[in-house]
């Protein structure tokens, strides 16, 4: 098969690594890719926002499957445009991508189909939103309706913070994405990520994961795109796994089908494990980054037939097998991230790091110049490892990091701490 992967981050490097390992694949391209992806695929300088250009490339190269990594092209309807041109693509169409593209859309679906979530209101003007905040008090959560690059949520611990968030959103801080605002109940509990595949009718679970959003150890400092992750999370017991599938994932897939906009692709549910059971607080319609990296490491089955089954409505009799090991990934970022940082600094020791048992280094933001690997983004590397336990995976990942020579980079040293504390307590 000829496959084209869209995207350029660590998520896409992990996908490229997994797709390239499939015996079904004769050639893999990635647009635009990065220096690590270039080892698995031929990188092409296509503008993925230009759907006509992507279609033209697919036609010229007899592409049989397009795999879409990030959310922006999904929300822009690239899967529909490819389908219209007769090209199969893994990911939801534009309507189904609203599960990520509009918080209000997802809340309405939850209400219609009885999916457990925080109580909420949806507002198109500041006065009504402020009245809701005054009525319900703090803590309360204010969310821009649309895509805001992960920055559109304010968890307000005081009423003043909530009011400021409402004002900021209706003042246009997130442009069109903030023209509507969802305000919801503050959920108390442990937050986990849960991934499932859907072919529009059937959903099958992938795995659970835990990410680490804050930039510094002990969950200090500003939020980021994610500084590390591990899978599985011990807090998703078989019982909770069953509840998430039955109460959240399956009703979502059934609801989307009933509405005539079936969801095909990866459903990534942000779930709070509350005293009343698991509650959904957000959907994403693609793999998480860096959660995808740990999922790909743990997946034993070939991913390509699973993606084809999603596109073709054939998930019903599908099963995905997993390695029993835990996987953990640590993000190495450029000093200064998530604020300003320098590009073009030199990274050495990557081959040395990759030689360690169970270790895989994925590139998130790198370029190659004259044989050297240079940092080219905020999040730059994902140093990943498998281990019999999270403790072992963590030890291996940090041993690999200690072999990487990059004076301008940094990472958290405590990725996986929740599971590590738990494993130590159980001993």
Distance of CA 115 to the CA centre of its chain: 21
The nearest distance, CB 394 to ligand AMP, in angstroms, is 22
The nearest distance, CB 35 to ligand AMP, in angstroms, is 30
Coil, helix or strand at residue 78:
helix
Per CB under 6 A, the list member of 187, 303, 359, 385 interacting with ligand AMP is 187
The nearest distance, CB 284 to ligand AMP, in angstroms, is 8
How far apart CA 52 and CA 58 sit, in angstroms, is: 10
Pull the structure tokens for residue 22.
Answer: 């499939």
Q: Does 141 bind ligand AMP (CB under 6 A)?
A: yes
What's the burial of 407, exposed, middle or buried (CB within 10 Å: 0-12/13-18/19+)? Answer: exposed
Nearest to 294 by CA among 382, 381, 217: 382
DSSP string for residues in 191-256: EEEEEEEEESS-EEEEEEEEE--EEEGGGEEEE-S-SEEEES-TTS-HHHHHHIIIIIIHHHHHHH
Residue with CB nearest ligand AMP?
282
The nearest distance, CB 99 to ligand AMP, in angstroms, is 12
Per-residue DSSP letter, 133 = H
Phi-psi group of 411: left, alpha or beta (phi > 0 → left; psi -120 to 50 → alpha; rest → beta): beta
Q: Which residues in the 2-31 window bind ligand AMP by CB under 6 A?
A: none
Contact flags string 90-129 toward ligand AMP, x per CB under 6 A: ----------------------------x-----------
Region near ligand AMP per CB under 6 A, out of 178-186, 229-237, 378-386, 387-395:
178-186
Helix 390-401 vs helix 417-426: angle between axes, to the nearest 10 degrees?
A: 130
Region near ligand AMP per CB under 6 A, out of 184-192, 346-354, 399-407, 411-419:
184-192
Nearer to ligand AMP, 85 or 138 (CB): 138
Q: Which residues in the 263-302 window bind ligand AMP by CB under 6 A?
A: 270, 281-282
The nearest distance, CB 138 to ligand AMP, in angstroms, is 12
The nearest distance, CB 282 to ligand AMP, in angstroms, is 3
Region near ligand AMP per CB under 6 A, out of 5-13, 180-188, 341-349, 402-410:
180-188
How far apart CA 137 and CA 183 sit, in angstroms, is: 11
Per CB under 6 A, the list member of 40, 180, 184, 325 interacting with ligand AMP is 184
How far apart CA 292 and CA 289 sit, in angstroms, is: 6
Q: Mark out the alpha helices in 269-367 (DSSP H runs).
A: 291-298, 303-312, 350-354
Total binding residues toward ligand AMP, as defined by CB under 6 A: 12
Could you list the residues that contact ligand AMP (CB under 6 A)? 118, 141, 153, 155, 184-187, 191, 270, 281-282
């Amino acid at each position: 098969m000829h496959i084209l992967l869209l995207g350029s981050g660590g998520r896409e490097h992990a996908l490229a690594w997994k797709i390239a390992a499939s015996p079904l694949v004769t050639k893999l391209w990635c647009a635009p890719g990065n220096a690590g992806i270039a080892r698995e695929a031929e990188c092409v300088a296509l503008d993925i926002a230009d759907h006509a250009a992507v279609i033209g490339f697919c036609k010229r190269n007899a592409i049989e499957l397009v795999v879409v990594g990030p959310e922006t092209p999904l929300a822009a309807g690239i899967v529909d445009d490819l389908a219209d041109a007769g090209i199969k693509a893994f990911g939801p169409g534009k309507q189904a991508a609203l599960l990520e593209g509009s918080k209000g859309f997802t809340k309405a679906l939850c209400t219609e189909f009885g999916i457990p979530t925080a109580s909420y209101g949806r507002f198109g003007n500041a006065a009504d939103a402020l009245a809701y905040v005054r009525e319900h008090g703090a803590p309360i959560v204010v969310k821009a309706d649309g895509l805001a690059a992960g920055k559109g949520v304010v968890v307000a611990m005081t009423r003043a913070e909530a009011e400021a968030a409402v004002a900021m959103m209706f003042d246009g801080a997130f442009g069109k994405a903030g023209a509507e605002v969802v305000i919801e109940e503050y959920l108390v509990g442990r937050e986990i990520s849960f991934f499932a595949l859907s072919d529009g009718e059937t959903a099958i679970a992938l795995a659970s994961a835990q990410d680490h959003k804050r930039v510094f150890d002990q969950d200090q400092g500003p939020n980021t795109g994610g500084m590390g992750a591990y899978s599985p999370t011990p807090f998703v017991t078989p019982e909770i796994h069953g509840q998430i599938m039955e109460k959240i994932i399956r009703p979502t897939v059934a609801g989307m089908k009933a509405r005539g906009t079936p969801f095909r692709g990866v459903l990534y549910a942000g779930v709070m494990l509350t005293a009343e059971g698991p509650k959904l607080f957000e959907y994403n319609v693609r793999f998480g980054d860096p959660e995808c990296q740990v999922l790909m490491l743990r997946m034993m089955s070939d991913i390509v037939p699973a993606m084809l089954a999603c596109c073709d409505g054939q998930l019903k009799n599908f099963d995905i097998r997993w390695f029993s090991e835990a996987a953990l990934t640590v993000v190495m970022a450029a000093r200064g991230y998530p604020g300003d940082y320098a590009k073009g600094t030199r990274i050495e020791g990557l081959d040395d790091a990759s030689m360690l048992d169970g270790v895989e280094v994925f590139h998130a933001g790198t370029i190659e110049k004259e044989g050297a690997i240079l940092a080219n983004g905020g999040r730059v590397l994902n140093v990943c490892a498998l281990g019999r336990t999270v403790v072992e995976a963590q030890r291996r990942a940090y041993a690999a990091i200690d072999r990487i020579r990059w004076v301008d980079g940094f990472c958290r040293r405590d990725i996986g701490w929740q599971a590590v504390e738990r494993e130590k307590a159980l001993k």
